[in-house]
Amino acid sequence: MRSEPARLRFEIGARDGAARTGVLQTRHGPVKTPAFIPLATKGTVRGLESHEVAALGYEMVLGNTYHLFVSPGPERIAKAGGLHGFMGWERALITDSGGFQVFSLAHGGVANEVKGSGRQGGDQGSVVSIEEEGVHFRSYRDGAELFISPEVSMQVQAALGSDIALVFDECTPFHADRDYTARSTGRTHRWLERCLEWHEREGPVRQAIFGIVQGGIYEDLRRESAEAVSSAAVDGLAIGGTLGRDKAEMREVLSMTAPLLPEAAPKHLAGIALGLDVFDCAVPTRLARHGVALVPDPDNRFRLDLRKSGHTGDRDPIAADCPCPACQNHDRDYLSYLSRAEELTAVRLLCIHNLTYLQELMVHARAAIEAERFNAYSRAVLSGESPWTA
Amino acid sequence: MRSEPARLRFEIGARDGAARTGVLQTRHGPVKTPAFIPLATKGTVRGLESHEVAALGYEMVLGNTYHLFVSPGPERIAKAGGLHGFMGWERALITDSGGFQVFSLAHGGVANEVKGSGRQGGDQGSVVSIEEEGVHFRSYRDGAELFISPEVSMQVQAALGSDIALVFDECTPFHADRDYTARSTGRTHRWLERCLEWHEREGPVRQAIFGIVQGGIYEDLRRESAEAVSSAAVDGLAIGGTLGRDKAEMREVLSMTAPLLPEAAPKHLAGIALGLDVFDCAVPTRLARHGVALVPDPDNRFRLDLRKSGHTGDRDPIAADCPCPACQNHDRDYLSYLSRAEELTAVRLLCIHNLTYLQELMVHARAAIEAERFNAYSRAVLSGESPWTA
């Protein structure tokens, strides 16, 4: 870990057990943590303008290096003033390394394992070869052969001009054996050094770098990786890779990995809705596309499927007292109809609802940590109370 | 024509040549004319909430009886407080009769002729038979056989609770010969009487009815129809049917038909962007879906295709000085990328732009008529000036 306030400053605030609040001070303003980070995968949060995402209270979004590399390409975005200028987003921006998407092509199941079983649609290209130097793959758009390596990833992220870049790593699938995982983790560490070398030499001076801890489900490999990444000149840490075959195994991997990381470091969890300081997740926007709203209903995995029957004539909002326009202006009857009719208005309204719901969850979690009642808050939410009343 | 202010009052304002301004006073507030009426085909204007459509300045939208009849059905909408309550729209509402869609199934080409060559997608069901009593057709959703007649159409529109209902008519294709058109127009007149009888007996007391003048491209049939419809107990008139095989023929049919109609009546033109007092059109929202923006560019039919190449690096907005968020917040480079990536955000922004553009066109047309400079305004707009500067 290095400490370069010019790149990124992380101020830890209140603590309550293992939980904590904090503020990431970026070039583009503060990000209060714990924070959920909406995906602006292809340069837009689904259906929303950037100023609307800011109005929901979000202080950071995640841009997808793989997608933006394939189209419209880093040169075009750089000319537009980086991803901030291109999409008109004035707050903090984090970019992933592209590794997750590239390796999900190779390992097939990774994306589905980590991100749920949703359709991966546009992501389906093909990997030609994985080498020490980098990965050759085909564009899902036009079949053109593309190459991504630690250097290319950092170069693209430099062009995107994100406040926080992630290093290029291999995301190993949970079914990889110990031997494969060990070799892959070793390569990820060598790639980390190449990322940092390129960035030191040619990267934007004020762009912060997060290293990624791999090691699969093997405690010794996780420990080895935590030590390697923590001792590198990174500004923060992300826990990467497939964390296990189910939620129990995921919790096990997380709880063995988190204590291995330096206390002071800001920590990011990629791909999964279970947070350290910062986490991103495709779920709220992907669910919206499929007509599913997040609701305080543990019996149904906190989901309300508006495309299922049974909502006809239902005059209740999606979630009582939710401050979003979907809940303030409309009932389940109408939203269910709109969603089944596959109207854009429904996707947008559900997106706004789901992002509001997660933002409320975070705002009230931070308040609960500050009031040293995070356990009670967490229990209440898990047992079905609304974030805004728990 | 009848004159029942309780249903609808039409106040003619300024005149300038043949053009005029006016105000339709409906149960749900005033509609300044000439007015463009956005389509809320399936109970929403594409990608927008009702309050957003109102914020763009629109005072009336059009609900589609055929689509809403097939799904979610009139009972469900009636229980939600009519279409106003269902979609949360508090201003004036006009509904078509369903005839246009039903007959476009039968005559195949009608919808494409009248509405342009766009994909008709969900509209493709099939007509089983056209009889004096009404039309049997199959639902495009589940193949169920449905029946629509003058009485059913009025009943559905009563359930929708629109401020203005249109009578059920047959929309004849331009390639129909004189004989078919004459027989069809006769049936349309008999259906008009049945609509009025049903409405008199069972319709909402304060719902106004517009009759529809048919007659194809034949001047004597148009005259006959104008007389028949004008002498019926209707509150306004619509010019219906296919108006010709091209714009020149359309202008000819319109200019022979319009003078045949009573001066005092509010007049609606269905399906085509060329107005009398009120007109509706699918173009602005359909174009948005296909990445096309309306712009002051007569050489390109006032269209800018953002999915074509050539916009990379273009820092200009879609239209200089346009007050919409697409033009205020973004450049062609970004919007072109978003639209090619088929992002919802692009469809929504282009929808808002196109509706803003048409609303500006109307606002400034009304001002020009009031200032007795409508001809100059019209010439300026047709030669490429922006509505807001012409």
Please tell me whether residue B14 adopts helix, strand or coil conformation: strand
CA distance B337 to chain A (A): 7
d(CA B59, CA B36) in angstroms, rounded, equals 9
Residue B299: active-site member: no
The answer to whether the CB atoms of A348 and B347 lie below 8 A apart is no
Together in a domain, A312 and A239: no
Answer whether residue B390 is part of any domain: no
From A72-81, A371-380, B173-182, B185-194, the region with the lowest mean pLDDT:
B173-182
B316, with CB counted inside 10 A (0-12, 13-18, 19+), is exposed
Cβ–Cβ < 8 Å for B286, B293: no
Chain A interface, mutation test: which of B49, B53, B345, B347, most A Cβ atoms within 10 Å?
Answer: B345
Together in a domain, A227 and A269: yes
What does the pLDDT look like over A245-271, one tens digit per residue?
A: 777 888 888 888 888 888 888 888 754
Chain B interface, mutation test: which of A44, A51, A328, A353, most B Cβ atoms within 10 Å?
Answer: A44
Residue A114 is predicted with a pLDDT of 44
| B338 neighbourhood in chain A, CB within 8 Å | 42-44
Q: Give the domain extent around A303.
A: 286-382
Residue A280: active-site member: yes
| B350 neighbourhood in chain A, CB within 8 Å | none
- End of a domain among A281, A310, A339? A281
The answer to whether the CB atoms of B334 and A88 lie below 8 A apart is yes
Together in a domain, B276 and B362: no
Answer whether residue A1 is part of any domain: no
From A21-30, A257-266, A370-379, the region with the lowest mean pLDDT:
A257-266
Answer whether residue B4 is part of any domain: no
Answer whether residue A259 is part of any domain: yes
What does the pLDDT look like over B131-149, one tens digit per residue?
A: 999 999 888 788 889 999 9
Together in a domain, A112 and A165: yes
Together in a domain, B243 and B304: no
**Mean pLDDT calculated for residue range A33-58:** 94
Structural domain count of chain A: 2
Comparing A210 with B112, the larger pLDDT belongs to A210
Comparing A283 with A71, the larger pLDDT belongs to A71
Residue of A nearest to B73 (CA): A337
Together in a domain, A109 and A68: yes
Whether A72 has its CB under 8 Å from any CB of chain B: the answer is yes
Together in a domain, A143 and A291: no
Strand partners, A118: none
- pLDDT above 90 (res A281): no
Residue A109 is predicted with a pLDDT of 47
CB-closest option in A43, A86, A329 to B88 = A329
Whether B345 has its CB under 8 Å from any CB of chain A: the answer is yes
The answer to whether the CB atoms of B348 and A42 lie below 8 A apart is no
What does the pLDDT look like over A88-143, one tens digit per residue?
A: 999 999 999 988 888 776 665 444 444 443 334 444 567 888 899 999 988 877 88
What does the pLDDT look like over B211-246, one tens digit per residue?
A: 999 998 899 999 999 999 999 999 999 988 766 677
The answer to whether the CB atoms of A337 and B313 lie below 8 A apart is no
**Mean pLDDT calculated for residue range A38-45:** 94
The answer to whether the CB atoms of A337 and B44 lie below 8 A apart is no
| B341 neighbourhood in chain A, CB within 8 Å | 42-43, 71
- End of a domain among B281, B300, B331? B281
Residue B120 is predicted with a pLDDT of 41
CA distance B112 to chain A (A): 22
Tokens representing A137 are 């793959």
Together in a domain, A259 and A342: no
Residue A1 is predicted with a pLDDT of 80
- Portion 240-269 of B in contact with A at CB < 8 A: none
Q: 3-class secondary structure for chain A?
A: CCCCCCCCEEEEEEEECCEEEEEEEECCEEEEECEEECEECCCCCCCCCHHHHHHCCCCEEEECHHHHHHCCCHHHHHHCCHHHHHHCCCCEEEECCCHHHHHHHHHCHHHHHHHCCCCCHHHCCEEEEECCCCEEEECCCCCCEEEECHHHHHHHHHHHCCCEEECCCCCCCCCCCHHHHHHHHHHHHHHHHHHHHHHHHHCCCCCEEEEEECCCCCHHHHHHHHHHHHCCCCCEEEECCCCCCCHHHHHHHHHHHHHHCCCCCCEEECCCCCCCCEEECCHHHHHHHCCEEECCCHHHCCEEECCCCCCCCCCCCCCCCCCCHHHHHCCHHHHHHHHHCCCHHHHHHHHHHHHHHHHHHHHHHHHHHHCCCHHHHHHHHHCCCCCCCC
Share of chain A above pLDDT 90, in %: 69
Distances (CA, A) of A16 to A21, A77, A294, A376, B264: 9, 42, 26, 11, 75
Please tell me whether residue B168 adopts helix, strand or coil conformation: coil
| B349 neighbourhood in chain A, CB within 8 Å | 49
Together in a domain, A274 and A292: no
Answer whether residue A388 is part of any domain: no
User: What is the rounded average pLDDT for all residues in chain A?
Assistant: 89
| A349 neighbourhood in chain B, CB within 8 Å | 49
The answer to whether the CB atoms of B88 and A330 lie below 8 A apart is yes
For residue A19, how far is the Cα from the chain centroid?
19
| A74 neighbourhood in chain B, CB within 8 Å | none
Answer whether residue A322 is part of any domain: yes
Residue B250 is predicted with a pLDDT of 80
What does the pLDDT look like over A146-176, one tens digit per residue?
A: 999 999 999 999 999 999 999 999 887 777 8
d(CA A264, CA A237) in angstroms, rounded, equals 10
CA distance B125 to chain A (A): 16
Residue of B nearest to A75 (CA): B313
Together in a domain, A140 and A266: yes
For chain A, the straight-line distance linking the first and the last C-alpha, in angstroms and rounded, comes to: 37
Whether B312 has its CB under 8 Å from any CB of chain A: the answer is yes
CB-closest option in B46, B80, B88 to A344 = B46
Together in a domain, A181 and A208: yes
Per-residue pLDDT band for A312 (boundaries 50, 70, 90) equals very high
CA distance A297 to chain B (A): 26
Residue B110 is predicted with a pLDDT of 46
The answer to whether the CB atoms of B337 and A76 lie below 8 A apart is yes
- End of a domain among B281, B304, B329? B281
Domain holding B268: CATH number?
3.20.20.105
Answer whether residue A2 is part of any domain: no
Low-confidence ranges of chain B (pLDDT < 50): 109-123, 271-275
Answer whether residue B259 is part of any domain: yes
| B81 neighbourhood in chain A, CB within 8 Å | none
Together in a domain, B63 and B145: yes
Whether A52 has its CB under 8 Å from any CB of chain B: the answer is no
Tokens representing B285 are 């929202």
